[in-house]
């Protein structure tokens, strides 16, 4: 039997808080249309388990079972029946994102309407054995969270090692242009091909493939733009190609170790997010990058740090393999439960 979202949920009064009022720290989660990640707010507006739909720009959906706040461009839905667990509905939409994506209309910034959302239909059978289904998802989610926490702790270990070895040791520092020779790729982001022979670096977290290369070298790849300024730094050695907004960085001194400078650049990403330009899409300029300073340790120290990072990378690879298996298991379970 089919049921409409509006039959099982009621739409709550909209927030009057603007998206830009979100905080980097605060007591309560704060959801907006512009990002799949939440920020924070110091007061809450909603205090029951709810679905949160972003209505402008992106097909973002969240489930929250603790007090939270939203921006004006979100719709909040409560369950009409206390026996319905909205997390099941949330998982259903995550498995069927096309139901939301198809509803975004408009010439410029696309929007989805309240009427479209509440008229979305799905099979009532998703609520059969809902508690058993959620137990399975929660168990997988627990192990995924543990793996992610392990990766974060390893990153903190690398940071601690860098501070121990290099900070406040009197080593010289150089500005960006004295450290890096900076180039960019020449291709559009959609130039990737399936099963290409060479890596293709864009501003996405993923590495794509392409059938032609433009670079054959060691390099750091810095994403030059991002919807919310969450930039990324990758290391590669060999033949590859790059998107036109991806910075391809070569060390000016051929004796220096890339891993040492990769870490330093990664440690500056939060700063770069705050400094980046743009509204709908954030981007980095060479002027912003030129102001960055880098510690230049002795080559022997750079080698020691690079060996340490190599060991940590092996551990992270093992954890990431486990994480990928868990994510695959989660997707298979979602497919089984929600089609």
Which pLDDT score is estimated for 276?
83
Q: Hey, which residues does 175 pair with through a beta bridge?
A: 293
pLDDT at 24 > cutoff 90: no
Tell me the mean pLDDT in the region 179-198: 93
- Is residue 278 scored above 90 in pLDDT? no
Q: Check residue 277 and report its DSSP letter.
A: B
Give me the pLDDT at residue 306, please.
92
pLDDT at position 177: 97
Pair of tokens at residue 116: 């479209």
H or E stretch covering 134: helix 130-166
Report strand pairing: 246-251 vs 180-184.
antiparallel
Three-state SS letters, 78-125: EECCCCCCHHHHHHHHHHCCHHHHCCCECCCCCECCHHHHHCCEEEHH
Residue 275 has pLDDT above 90, yes or no: no
Could you tell me which of 173, 221, 179 has the C-alpha nearest to residue 199? 221
What are the b/e assignments for 308-329, b being 16+ CB within 10 Å?
Answer: bbeeeeeebeebeeebeebeee
Query: Mind listing the pLDDT tens digit for each residue in 281-312?
Result: 788 999 999 999 999 999 999 999 999 999 99
**pLDDT value at residue 58:** 76
Q: Does residue 76 carry a pLDDT above 90?
A: yes
Average pLDDT, the chain: 91
pLDDT tens-digit readout, 125-139: 888 899 999 999 999
pTM score, two decimals? Answer: 0.74
Return the pLDDT at 1: 82
DSSP assignment of 250-271: EESSTTS-HHHHHHHHHTTHHH
């Amino acid at each position: 039997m089919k049921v409409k979202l509006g039959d099982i949920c009621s739409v709550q009064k909209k927030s009057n808080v603007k998206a830009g009022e979100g905080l980097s720290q605060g007591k309560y989660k704060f959801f907006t249309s512009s990002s799949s990640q939440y920020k924070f707010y110091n007061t809450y507006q909603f205090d029951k388990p709810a679905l949160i739909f972003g209505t402008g720009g992106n097909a973002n959906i969240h489930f929250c079972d603790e007090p939270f706040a939203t921006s004006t461009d979100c719709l909040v839905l409560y369950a009409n029946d206390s026996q319905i667990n909205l997390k099941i509905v949330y998982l259903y939409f995550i498995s069927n994102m096309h139901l939301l994506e198809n509803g975004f209309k408009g010439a410029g910034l696309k929007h989805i309407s309240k009427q479209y959302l509440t008229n979305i239909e799905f099979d009532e059978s998703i609520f059969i054995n809902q508690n058993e289904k959620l137990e399975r998802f929660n168990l997988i989610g627990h192990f995924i969270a543990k793996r992610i926490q392990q990766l974060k702790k390893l990153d903190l270990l690398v940071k601690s090692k860098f501070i121990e070895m290099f900070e406040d040791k009197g080593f010289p520092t150089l500005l960006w242009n004295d450290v890096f020779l900076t180039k960019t790729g020449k291709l559009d982001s959609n130039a990737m091909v399936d099963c290409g022979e060479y890596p293709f670096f864009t501003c996405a977290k993923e590495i794509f493939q392409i059938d032609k290369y433009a670079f054959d070298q060691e390099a750091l790849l810095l994403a030059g733009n991002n919807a919310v300024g969450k930039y990324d730094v990758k290391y590669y050695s060999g033949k590859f190609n790059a998107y036109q907004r991806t910075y391809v960085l070569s060390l000016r001194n051929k004796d220096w170790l890339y891993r040492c400078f990769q870490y330093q650049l990664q440690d500056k990403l939060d700063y770069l997010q705050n400094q980046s330009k743009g509204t709908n899409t954030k981007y980095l300029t060479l002027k912003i990058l030129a102001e960055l300073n880098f510690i230049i340790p002795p080559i022997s120290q750079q080698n020691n740090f690079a060996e340490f990072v190599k060991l940590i990378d092996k551990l992270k690879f093992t954890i990431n393999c486990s994480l990928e298996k868990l994510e695959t298991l989660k997707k298979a379970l979602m497919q089984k439960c929600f089609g």
